[in-house]
Structure 1
Amino acid sequence: MAPGWHRFFDARQCLSLRRGRGLSRDLELSLDDTPTREALSVWDVRENLTRPVTGKIGDASQAVLTAGGDAVLSHHADDGSEMGHVMVTPLDGDGVRDLTPELPPYTLRGLDVARTGHRAVITAVWSAGFSLWLVADDGSEAPRRLFSSPNEAWNGLISADGALACLDTTDHNPGVRRFAATVIDAATGKSLAMLSDGPEAPVRGLRFSAVPGDPRLLLSTERTGFARPCVWNPLDGARLDVTAPGIEGDLVPLDWSDDACRVLAAHVDAGVHRLYEWDIRTGELAPLDHPPGAYFEPDIAVAHQYMWASHYGADGRVRLLRQRFDLPLTVLRLNRATGTAMPVRTPAAHPPGVPARSETVRSADGTAIQLWTCAPPGVGPAPLVLYLHGGPNMVTVDGYNPQAQAWLDLGIAYAALNYRGSVTFGRAFREEFQRSIGDRELEDVRAAVDHLVARGVADRDKVFVTGISYGGYLSLLAMGRMPGLFAGALAFVPMTDWEAAYEEMNPALQSAWRAFLGGSPAEAAGAYQRASPITYVEQVHGPVWIRHATNDTRCPPRQAYDYARALERAGGDVVLDWFHGGHETTSKDKALGDQQRMIDLVSATLRGERWSTSRVSPPPHTDPPPGSVQ
């Protein structure tokens, strides 16, 4: 019989919805979890019919519908390595075709389709640098390169009629991740205009107007140090910025209506989402009435800026995607006349859980940091698991969290920290981790633990730390640089040795970390060493579990093995479990297995038992991912 906490994972059905942009139909591409993998289906909103996508799909989380709604574009990479090609897959699965057969394998940093015709743009990265490619999903045009640069360039977009493209570029300020929006003529490849707010304030494109022939672009700007929506015409330079008197913090643009008259935006206040609608014609910024929860989730270094986000439907009404820590994704339709939000797609029956509370904590230097906290009902100071998100330029939102509910079901408290480096808290907060990788983040981690202990939520001697990717990295760094703070660390695909990992990272990541760490390992060896958990293995006092992938090109497997061996030689209690794949696990069965493993390990510590029962093993032999740097 399955443990009771399994019921929270069973409730998880729809992970995200991404609207198809074709003119003739109202379609949503739905990402759903199944026991074995993430699967796609197409929801015809007008007909209220759902059709599964049966063909072979690569990275389903980044897939998009073609304008005709009869096929899906997705990035196919060998064994999750993130090095591959974008393919077009008909919904019925009859024939998968490579859109860029002549290109070497690449990492994807943008994927967008025009509303009419068959054009799409792909932002690709391999050892030669960053490039933007115009492709045709029906094979009517050979791929054409519109842009290339050795400097970071992300998030390629295409206009509704396929005439213009846009790319977030850093050529104006190389080596610094503060983008400018560069617009390109899709017919000639000529750069037509660039919008920059100077070296301090990034500008990022979100979406071209949905009206064919309208060249305007919705962007996110940061003139004030915080995100604000902006509409810009690259052909005549006209620009319209939202005025938001009285609103402090980020006002994040999410979408704009098909008639290009209204923009949907989210104000983030201490992690809490409040939605607004900006009428471009009148300049009015009006709050929307909606229940509490998360209404979008940012992503980083992938094909799209959001994992999922509320948006406009083809009927012009706001389609709210809502989650909470205890509530799976629900779709609400906002009735502008009455101000009410009515459910149109709800999850199947799901067990009641514990909602999260947003708290503000002061770090060592007085910086305000945001913390989501959940405590088991009726329990005093309890064991606690502190979660640190990846990125670092990501964020934990008030989204459905079966892991948190599983811990709470067992009487263990849960908290998730948005440390410095997190997005949606302004530019200064997002960039502060760059001053000295790991330092500010660990100050925030200690402040969070002290706060949770002082408030009576956590038992000081029974606090565990966990995280994925950069969050796993911080978990291990905390074990070495703040010994005794945590009873153990549970690290998924962590970075453990920046210098050893550098040559095996995919090229897109090498560029970023040269900027963050002050150069290559040869140029900034001291910074790489100081930032690496392997430097501090002699100081690790608690047990460590590492769950790592055999084909990860973000946090390569060899450096994780080297860390585990070094900790083992130092007398540490370390367990290293391998899984076959890339940087993420993508099935319910794997998530259940990982949760059970963590529960077993934490329970062992609470019983006074060691985690390690055998020596760590090297990664199973795998060939290097195609196109990776050797």
Structure 2
Amino acid sequence: MPDWEKRFRAPRVSLPDWAEHAPDRSLFVSNATGTYELYAWDRATGSQRQVTDRPNGTTEGVLAPDGEAVWWFSDTDGDEFGIWMRQPFTGGEDLPALPGLAASYPAGLAIGRDGTAVIGRSTDEDGTTIHVVRPGESPVEVYRHRESAGVGDLSHDGTLFAVEHTEHGDAMHSALRVLRLDGSVLAELDDTQGGTQALGLEVLGFPPVDGDTRLLVGHQRRGRWEPMIWDVASGEQTALAVDLPGDVSAEWYPDGSALLVVHSFEARGELWHYDLGAGELTRIETPAGSVSDATARPDHSVEYLWSSAAEPPQVRSTHGGVVLDPPGMRAPASVPVEDVWVEGPGGRVHALVQRPAGTSGPLPTVFEIHGGPAWHDSDSFTAGPAAWVDHGYAVVRVNYRGSTGYGREWTDALKHRVGLIELEDIAAVREWAVGSGLADPAKLVLAGGSWGGYLTLLGLGTQPDAWAVGLAAVPVADYVTAYHDEMEALKALDRTLLGGTPEEVPERFAASSPLTYVDAVEAPVYISAGVNDPRCPIRQIENFVDRLVARGAVHEVYRYDAGHGSLVVEERIKQVRMEIAFAERYLAAPGTPGPADAPPSAAVDVADGVAPERAGA
């Protein structure tokens, strides 16, 4: 088995979530069976048990505060539309957790100590609704709005809950509302300023103390995400002395005395301890690389999920050692990343570069573009780029405008010229890669999934001379049709990004749609798509493919029975293998079969029963 396949097959685990009032009981996600599923772990006995077992896989789950039940979200073939189920922690029958509520897209869930649940639901017909469900009682609707919203948290005593909402129409910047369980409003916090110079807010959580009306909130008032404390009863807002660059988030320590601060800056993640009494910030030592998730335990130890581009992920503890080590083989190491900064039209662009050990270039080079767009590539372990490196390619990952971790202005820069702005930054890094001698200008591959797949198709049409091959996974291909077919929450995001609907701003949708430029595409293009994808629906991809077919353009299409990606390891390996084979076929050396010798198109349809991964939105 080659190393690149081992990296996908090696068992992984997520950071275990633990029950607030039964901290020895934990819930985590693992691919130990070859499909990502939920697992219950009793730390007191050491026993582990697989909770879910579905062909599509399952990753969305919540542990009840008393540790007695696991709640998990059941959709159909990756369509993200379904209901919450409940299973006893020690095993037993799966039953609907909230009888009386029809299927929907999930929009947040908070569970109280007495079993009361506050559940957010989203449908195309109703927008967002929030229901309160007390044990043994029917659901009661307490909130409804056409725009997107979500349940943030439930107070420790179960009397208040916080909601992030976008009733003002800006889906990129939420306002906050705190309600009582009967739906009456206690407090409002809105930094959107009527839609001009909008700033976002996010719920980070109530403290674990009865009667405490403080809410930990993320805000952008100083040009980046950082935490503050808002007393929802008195209205008092308390700034915190967390003077760190980049984006900062936080959560309460279990006794409410301190905050665990998670800091993301320039593609790295690290941890800090903030003493609320003294107002002091102290660094928590972690290895170089990225901390992607962390939690503070009742004994004040911190458990965190760490990795680097070279080293596979581990769940570690500040008490020392590995907390949860999956069985089986360990993923082979890869090569470290190099940081590159390039002057772009909107400021310095940060890129991460990996190349095969001992090589200098020029090399065939894959520009692997991240999804989101509000996401970022980091110095963390990723099997996909490592596979390309193993095959002799350099890999360049660009944190274009729209990426997180570089301040609010960088993240918010996309409006109206959607797609085109990101491609300007990618082009600047591409010029550096060629000019520096890293990349062979005749062997440049543009690739990505979700928003990265969208930028791939848009880049192939707007920069046709720049790219030799394009690889687009679950992409936006026809922006107008995608808008009409996608889930309601993403419609709201598109209206925010582009300034309206396709009928209101048709010129902006046309300028940002890959379909507009499809006739200019010259590079061979490979497209993979999940037929049940609610984020990048299949019809709009077929519209793009039909235009390629009409032109006789070189392309291949791989359709699979899932949603926005796959949670099945073998399916993911299959897709990477096909992408690499496609690129190698069309980047062949002179004298070997290449594009001129290849068939103009091919289509592959399968029904593997795989399900969606949550690629960056």
TM-score by length of 1: 0.89
Which residue of 2 is the match for residue 425 of structure 1? Answer: 406
Q: How does 1:25-104 map to 2 (within 5 A)?
A: 25-34=23-32, 36-54=34-52, 60-91=58-89, 94-104=92-102
Contact 2:479 2:515 survives alignment (8 Å)? no
Opposite residue 421 of structure 1, the aligned amino acid is G
Which residue of the partner structure matches residue 301 of structure 1?
none
Distance 1:535 1:160 in 2: 52
The 5 A counterparts of 1:410-489 are 410-489=391-470
The residue aligned with 1:305 is none
Contact 1:270 / 1:358 at 8 angstroms: preserved in 2?
Answer: no
Question: Where does the alignment leave 5 or more consecutive residues of structure 1 unmatched?
Answer: 297-308, 336-340, 622-630
Q: Does 1:191 align with 2:177?
A: no
Q: Equivalents in 1 of 2:20, 2:248: separation in Å?
A: 28
Question: Given the alignment of the two structures, is residue 609 of structure 1 paired with residue 594 of structure 2, yes or no?
Answer: yes
Which SS does the other structure have where 1:555 is aligned?
A: coil
Whether 1:286 and 2:282 are equivalent positions in the alignment is yes
* Maintained 8 Å contact 2:350/2:400: yes
Judge which range, 355-364 or 490-499, deviates more.
355-364
The whole-number CA distance in structure 2 between the counterparts of 1:461 and 1:620 is 33
1:265 is aligned to 261
Which residue of the other structure, out of 180, 192, 195, is the alignment partner of 2:175?
A: 180
Amino acid of the residue matched to residue 409 of structure 1?
A: D
Query: Aligned equivalents of 1:352 and 1:615: distance in 2?
Result: 37
Report the secondary structure of 2:549's partner residue.
helix
SS at match of 2:413: helix
Per-residue CA shift, 1:220-261, capped at 9, x if unaligned? Answer: 11110111111222112232221234x3322222x2200111
Does residue 561 of structure 1 match 2:561?
no
CA contact (8 A) 2:78 2:562 kept: yes
Kept in 2, the 8 Å contact 1:159–1:209? The answer is: yes
Identical pairs, percent: 28
Deviations 1:25-58 (A, max 9, x none): 3333111114542112123345443232156698
Name the CA distance, whole Å, in 2 between partners of 1:177 and 1:141. Answer: 35
Change (3 A) 1:109 1:358: farther
Inter-partner Cα distance in structure 1 for 2:442 and 2:101: 54
Offset of residue 360 of structure 1: 2.3
* CA displacement 1:500-539 (0-9 Å, x = unmatched): 2222212222222122222222212211111110110111
2:473 alignment partner in structure 1: 492
Q: Distance in 1 between matches of 2:42 and 2:91?
A: 18
Return closer, same or farther for 1:104/1:343 CA change in 2, 3 Å cut-off. closer
The one-letter amino acid of 1:11's match is A
CA contact (8 A) 2:451 2:476 kept: yes
* Counterpart pick for 1:319 among 303, 310, 315: 303
Q: What is the deviation of 1:59?
A: 6.7
TM-score by length of 2: 0.91
Deviation, 1:198, is 4.5
Give the distance between the partners of 2:393 and 2:604, measured in 1 at CA. 33
Return the offset for 1:577.
0.7
Letter in 2 for 1:371: A
Q: Please tell me whether the aligned partners of residues 55 and 89 of structure 1 are also in contact (alpha carbons under 8 angstroms).
A: no
**Aligned residue type for 2:268:** V
Matching residue of 1:302: none
Matched to 1:174, the amino acid is G
Question: Across the two proteins, how many residue pairs are aligned to each other?
Answer: 596
Contact 2:247 2:406 in 1 (8 A): yes
Task: Determine helix, strand or coil for the equivalent of 1:527.
Answer: helix
Looking at structure 2, the residues matched to 413 and 389 of structure 1 have their Cα atoms a distance apart, in angstroms, of 16
The one of 222, 238, 248 equivalent to 1:251 is 248
| Equivalent position to 1:372, from 349, 352, 376 | 352
- How far 1:349 moved relative to its partner? 3.0
Question: Does the CA contact (< 8 Å) of 2:151 and 2:161 recur in 1?
Answer: no
- Residue 274 in structure 1 maps to residue 270 in structure 2: yes
For 1:66-91, what per-residue CA distance to the aligned partner results, in whole angstroms no more than 9, with x for missing partners? 12323221221211111222222334
Separation in structure 2 between the aligned mates of residue 372 and residue 27 of structure 1, nearest angstrom: 38
User: Cα offset for 1:616?
Assistant: 5.1
Distance 1:543 1:259 in 2: 58
Letter in 1 for 2:178: V
Tell me the secondary structure at the aligned position of residue 81 of structure 1. Answer: coil
Instruction: Kindly indicate whether the alpha-carbon contact (under 8 Å) linking 2:152 and 2:204 is maintained by their aligned counterparts in 1.
Output: no
Correspondence for 1:210 = 208
Q: Which blocks of at least 5 consecutive residues in structure 2 are unaligned?
A: 608-617
State yes or no: 1:570 paired with 2:551.
yes
